[in-house]
């Protein structure tokens, strides 16, 4: 590996300081650091960069938290680049490399001595009056929910063209295994091991209390049609990208052909991360 892309939570001064240190460390090893444009400006990088650093990168380093990594994962897309996530706060579900172990772990990565966790992504399409108006990929989840003053919304849901039910409530979450520890978990959904080939459909505050979260196969094609009229309803992707929905809109979610490849720590396993983040065993 020679060309290393660097992304960071640019508004956090700590991330900027670490990025400067990382650039110096990479240069000392004869490698080429490629900070993204906004980060390069903030740290005074001062060298010309390619129009798209990901076209030349062989490894992507993300400094920040899980939210920063999720946004980068959508950008990496079809390139399939391994992502090295460094959490500058507490241990993250995705950014599980700590700052203290960053350079030691990165040294191993440069020797290609690392473990990869391959994560399923969702392809999400929105159709209006039969026309495709939006198409995206998500690593965590797709959320359909009503505005603060909207009434209960009706979401007609099918799986592989089989009618499941019409959920009535505040909304619906379709989550990947990676996203199962996010909003879906708050809505009562199960925790899935992140490398499972499956998805979770979780209703948000359902009007019918017997509507419970449901796990479906990874090859399931999920269709949700918005049946309410004149209500304030939004679609949110990975908690970061959103759009307004209209009555009759159809949301289609299915497994993406693309995967996210995360470099994981050699010093801890997924269950240790769960215990730490969710504070299991503490009183």
Residues with active-site annotation? 66
174: its two tokens: 């379709």
Beta strands in the chain (DSSP E): 3-8, 32-35, 59-64, 82-87, 97-98, 115-128, 131-138, 141-146, 153-159, 162-169, 171-175, 198-204, 214-217, 222-226, 233-237, 241-245, 250-264
Distance CA 34, CA 6 (A): 6
Cα–Cα distances in Å, from 50 out to 34, 47, 54, 242?
8, 10, 9, 29
Distance CA 197, CA 183 (A): 19
* Beta strands 171-175; 198-204: pairing state: antiparallel
Contact 197, 218 (CB under 8 A): yes
* Beta strands 32-35; 3-8: pairing state: parallel
């Amino acid at each position: 590996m020679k060309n290393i892309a660097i992304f960071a939570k640019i508004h956090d001064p700590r991330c900027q300081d670490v990025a400067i240190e990382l650039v110096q460390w990479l240069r000392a090893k004869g490698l080429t650091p490629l900070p993204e444009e906004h980060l390069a400006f903030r740290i005074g990088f001062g060298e010309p960069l390619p129009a798209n650093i990901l076209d030349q990168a062989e490894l992507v380093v993300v400094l920040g938290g899980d939210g920063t990594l999720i946004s980068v994962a959508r950008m990496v897309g079809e390139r399939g680049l391994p992502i090295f996530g460094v959490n500058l706060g507490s241990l993250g579900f995705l950014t599980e490399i700590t700052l203290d172990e960053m350079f030691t772990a990165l040294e191993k990565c440069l020797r290609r001595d690392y473990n990869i966790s391959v994560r399923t992504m969702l392809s999400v399409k929105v159709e209006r009056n039969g026309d495709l108006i939006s198409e995206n990929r998500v690593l965590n989840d797709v959320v359909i929910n009503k505005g603060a003053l909207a009434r209960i919304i009706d979401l007609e849901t099918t799986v592989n063209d089989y009618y499941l039910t019409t959920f009535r409530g505040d909304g619906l979450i379709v989550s990947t295994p990676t996203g199962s520890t996010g909003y879906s978990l708050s809505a009562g959904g199960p925790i899935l091991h992140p490398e499972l080939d499956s998805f979770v459909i979780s209703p948000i505050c359902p009007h019918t209390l017997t509507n419970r979260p449901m796990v479906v196969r990874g090859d399931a094609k999920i269709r949700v049609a918005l049946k309410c009229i004149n209500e304030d309803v939004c679609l949110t992707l990975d908690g970061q990208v959103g759009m307004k929905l209209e009555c009759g809109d159809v949301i289609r979610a299915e497994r993406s052909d693309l995967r996210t490849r995360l470099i994981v720590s050699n010093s801890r396993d997924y269950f240790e991360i769960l215990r730490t983040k969710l504070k299991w065993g503490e009183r």
